Amino acid sequence: MSLTGNAPQSEITVGQRIGRGMVTRTGLRTGRRNLRAAELICDCGTVYVRPLVHLRRGEVQSCGCLRRERGRVNPVMTRSTHGLAGHPLYSAWLKMLDRCENPRAPRYRDYGARGIRVCAGWHDVAAFIADVEAEIGPRPEGKGPGGKPLYSLDRVNNDGNYESGNIRWADDFTQARNRRPRRRAVSASLVVLSRP
């Protein structure tokens, strides 16, 4: 599917939750390029319109109140970025959101398509990092072949969501033991032997 303004509108639906906003109308147009857009109502009560392409990419998380709140806590974060892209947990956060909420992600069928979600509070990278470090501590040190970290974020209950109380640091061996059992392909063909 295309991520352009001409992409099918059906990907964003009324009642869908995107960050702090709830979609209230679709089929709108906005901006100089006349992009397809949706109207949302933020948890703070503000109604705003954003292009579908920005909503699909996860670029819009609120009406702007989230950025203002972050600015009150940390003035450095009032810039256009959150200031956490260099944090060791930032890539884990991006990958977690991608596989759970992006139908175009390669691992989506193993996560999002199974109903595995990221708790609402963890859509904010700062909250995610603070919760993970408080609950299970920073990622254990060590690198494997190719520079890949030896430990990655794992869900204790493989069918549970990414949320507080269901996460841990695990190595590849531990994660492999925590996988769902694979279904074996059973051949439906019947072999008939005949005697001459």
| Position 7 pLDDT exceeds 50 | no
- Give the long-range contacts of residues 151-155, CB within 8 A, separation 24 or more: 152/92, 153/92, 153/96, 154/178, 155/116
Mean pLDDT of 44-48: 88
Give the relative orientation of helices 125-135 and 90-101 as an angle to the nearest 10 degrees: 110
Q: Would you state the pLDDT for residue 181?
A: 63
Residue 196: both structure tokens together: 């001459």
Task: Report the distance separating Cα 156 and Cα 169, nearest Å.
Answer: 9
Task: Report residue 134's pLDDT band, with 50, 70 and 90 as the boundaries.
Answer: very high
pLDDT band at 54 (very low <50, low <70, confident <90, very high): confident
Over the chain, what is the mean pLDDT? 80
Give me the mean pLDDT over the 167-193 stretch. Answer: 69
Q: What is the pLDDT of residues 65-95, one digit of tens each?
A: 877 776 554 444 344 456 788 888 888 898 8
> Which pLDDT band holds residue 115 (cuts at 50, 70, 90)?
very high
- Segment among 5-9, 135-139, 143-147 with least mean pLDDT: 5-9
